[in-house]
Amino acid sequence: MYNIILSLHSLLRWVILLLLVINLIRHFAALKKPFGNTDKKLGLWLMIFTHITFLLGIYQWFAGAYGYHNISNIGMSAVMQNHAYRFFVIEHTVGMLIAIALITVARGVFRKNITDTKKHKRCIILYLFALIIILASIPWPGMNEIGRPLFRNFS
């Protein structure tokens, strides 16, 4: 069960990255256009997938070897001294939480009583920061001790 959730968590990163890029392109292209239903729906789908991935990540943090079990077994001091442990316990988790918060705030921009151009610009800024943080927080292959494969098996 854990491996299936881990694989799904890994797969959903690609959906999130794709939706982020699509949202960024959409908002850049629509700077002078009204903030429409397509913008709202794309933002909603992005937020839904980030929140699902977050829930899967929370499960991994508590059930997996790199989260809560590490802290309870070796202590927080030892976790902070080990690069791989610190990455998954703190850096990946906090980075993704910040990115999810930015995406969630961007989703609510359409409710603001501002011009459509400002709505698009705010979404661009929030999505761009979220994209940068996500790219920095993903354990890419080749990152010494923390690197993970681009795609995992569902086994």
Domain assignment present for residue 96? The answer is yes
Domain assignment present for residue 155? The answer is no
DSSP 111: G
The H-or-E segment that residue 131 falls in is helix 116-137
**Domain, as residue range, for 64:** 2-137
Domain assignment present for residue 145? The answer is no
Q: What is the pLDDT of residue 146?
A: 86
Domain assignment present for residue 8? The answer is yes
With 0-12 CB in 10 A as exposed, 13-18 as middle and 19+ as buried, what is 112? exposed
User: How far apart are the C-alpha atoms of 44 and 155, rounded to whole Å?
Assistant: 30
Domains identified in the chain, total number: 1
Q: What is the pLDDT along the chain (155 residues), one digit of tens a residue?
A: 888 999 999 999 999 999 999 999 999 999 999 999 999 999 999 999 999 999 999 999 999 888 899 899 999 999 999 999 999 999 999 999 999 999 999 999 988 999 999 999 999 999 999 999 999 999 999 888 888 888 887 76
Domain assignment present for residue 144? The answer is no
Angle 128-132-134 from CA coordinates, rounded to 5°: 115
Domain assignment present for residue 148? The answer is no
Domain assignment present for residue 153? The answer is no
Domain assignment present for residue 150? The answer is no
